[in-house]
């Protein structure tokens, strides 16, 4: 750290408070659409809890068509899309406008601070409860701690079932930290912004077609049943939502965040997106192509829905709804709620507070939702918020933060 020469030492200057906490969390836009996207996270968090409670109920008792459809409405793909959109944005802007971006080490450090503390605590605590006698299923613990459970047919849903999606998140980070700088380097040799944007979108299209091709081949050619989980839940099968999120980031970066859809066009786009997701849900039948292709089709619907927000007019009614304070508060604690809702649901059922009957579904949803959000709020305050401060260990340029610059100044004087 360079400093100006000091000719006369004075009293040590008070260290400047770290500025990292004044910036939005990693993966959150610096301006403009932050509250709307937090609202989407809130909707996703609530929907996932409802989905799992409904799924848990129909596994044991017959249900109506409406309940069966509700139990198929899996919305986790929109979280993948959001994550890809927010994290790809800096790379997309750097590639299109030929600017610098953060180093791979800085990117991975920020993601590790955001994800690992809560994840490792949650996995360790729940595994310990479910394996009271050592050595327990240590392979299960090892796979979950290393995010490799998604490749294990037997243990993919052990310990904390929903954390299979965290494996995909981590694998996406690894993919992005390789492809992002590569895209920036390639685009550095392309003359025009339009051509650079076209190259990036073509790359996103290829990434989207990989899982589409994989799923089609697995189902139609090799006749792999859907309950072969690593085949249909692995990154090769589920990266479609990440790919379309990356494409959305490229479009927004190319437009310099300026709206594309004005007037009623944003509403039309939103309606089409919701219709695509609803159609994908409707054809999602057991042991059918609809079940296999649901996520690839739904990803396109989620893309249109988010595009209607980030590329739509500001202050539209939909944006104001997404920015509703209680909803954005749920979005803020969505990661913690996601981590704890399944053990809460199973604990309540074990003690007879809830049951796995369809008739009790409204009551079950209300109780599990309330307790999961309460646990999420507590977990955010006790685990997520304090550990997020570890980001202050590094400056924005990736260098280690100097907490005592006045000591360095004094040593230079001596």
The CA distance from 246 to 89, in Å, is: 8
Find the mean pLDDT for residues 46-69. Answer: 76
Question: pTM of this prediction?
Answer: 0.88
Cα separation, 248 vs 269, in Å, equals 14
pLDDT digits (tens, 9 = 90+) for 172-198: 999 999 999 999 999 999 999 999 999
What residue spans of 188-217 are helical by DSSP H?
193-216
| pLDDT the model gives residue 316 | 85
pLDDT for residue 394: 80
Say yes or no to pLDDT of 108 above 90.
Answer: yes
Q: What is the DSSP letter of 394?
A: B
DSSP assigned state of 151: G
Who contacts 358 (Cβ-Cβ below 8 Å, separation ≥6)? Answer: 57, 58, 61, 62, 63, 64, 67
Structure tokens at 60: 């044991």
Contacts 24+ apart (CB under 8 A), 54-61: 54/361, 54/365, 56/345, 56/349, 56/356, 57/356, 57/357, 57/358, 57/360, 57/361, 57/364, 58/358, 59/356, 60/356, 60/357, 61/356, 61/357, 61/358
Quick one: how far is CA 293 from the chain centroid? 21
> In this predicted structure, what is the pLDDT of residue 25?
40
Residue 400 pairs with which residues in a beta bridge?
A: 394
Domain boundaries, the chain: 34-391
Which one is predicted more confidently, 262 or 288? 288
Mean pLDDT of 29-40: 78
- Give the model's confidence band at 142: pLDDT under 50 very low, under 70 low, under 90 confident, else very high: very high
pLDDT tens for each residue of 372-398: 999 999 999 999 999 999 988 887 766
φ, ψ of residue 394 to 5 degrees: the values are -130, 145
pLDDT at residue 16 above 90? no
> Does position 59 have pLDDT exceeding 80, yes or no?
no
Confidence (pLDDT) at 90: 95
The pLDDT of residue 186: 97
Share of the chain above pLDDT 90, in %: 72
CA distance 283 to 84: 26
Q: What is the pLDDT of residue 158?
A: 94
Query: What average pLDDT is seen over the chain?
Result: 88
The percent of residues above 70 in pLDDT, for the chain, comes to: 85
The yes-or-no verdict on residue 1 having pLDDT over 60 is no
């Amino acid at each position: 750290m360079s400093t100006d020469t000091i000719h006369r030492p004075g009293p040590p200057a008070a260290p400047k408070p770290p500025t990292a906490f004044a910036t939005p969390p990693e993966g959150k836009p610096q301006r403009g659409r932050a509250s709307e996207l937090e609202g989407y996270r809130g909707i996703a968090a609530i929907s996932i809890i409802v989905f799992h409670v409904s799924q848990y109920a129909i596994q044991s008792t017959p249900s109506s068509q409406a309940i069966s459809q509700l139990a198929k409405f899996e919305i986790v793909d929109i979280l993948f899309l959001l994550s890809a959109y927010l994290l790809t944005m800096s790379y997309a802007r750097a590639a299109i406008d030929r600017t610098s971006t953060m180093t791979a080490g800085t990117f991975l450090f920020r993601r590790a601070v955001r994800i690992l503390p809560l994840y490792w605590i949650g996995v360790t605590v729940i595994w310990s409860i479910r394996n009271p006698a050592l050595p327990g299923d240590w392979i299960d613990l090892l796979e979950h701690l290393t995010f490799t459970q998604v490749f294990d047919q037997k243990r993919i849903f052990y310990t904390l079932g929903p954390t299979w999606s965290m494996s995909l998140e981590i694998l996406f980070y690894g993919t992005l930290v390789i492809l992002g700088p590569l895209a920036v380097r390639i685009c550095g040799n392309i003359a025009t912004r339009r051509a650079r944007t076209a190259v990036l979108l073509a790359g996103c299209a290829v990434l989207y077609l990989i899982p589409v091709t994989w799923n089609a081949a697995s189902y139609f050619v090799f006749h792999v049943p859907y309950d072969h989980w690593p085949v249909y839940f692995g990154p090769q099968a589920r990266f479609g939502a990440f790919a379309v999120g990356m494409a959305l980031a490229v479009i927004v970066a190319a437009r310099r965040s300026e709206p594309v859809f004005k007037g009623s066009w944003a509403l039309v786009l939103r309606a089409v997106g919701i219709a695509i997701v609803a159609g994908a849900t409707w054809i999602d039948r057991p042991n059918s192509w609809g079940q296999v292709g649901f996520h690839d089709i739904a990803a396109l619907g989620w893309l249109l829905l988010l595009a209607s927000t980030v590329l739509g007019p500001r202050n539209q009614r939909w944006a104001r709804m997404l920015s509703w304070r209680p909803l954005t508060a749920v979005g803020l604690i969505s990661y913690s709620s996601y981590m704890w809702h399944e053990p809460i649901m199973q604990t309540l059922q074990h003690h007879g507070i809830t049951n796995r009957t369809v008739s009790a579904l409204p009551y079950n949803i209300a109780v599990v939702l309330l307790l999961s959000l309460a646990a999420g709020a507590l977990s955010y305050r006790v685990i997520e918020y304090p550990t997020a401060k570890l980001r202050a260990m590094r400056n924005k340029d990736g260098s280690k933060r100097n907490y005592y610059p006045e000591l360095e100044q004094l040593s230079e004087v001596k």
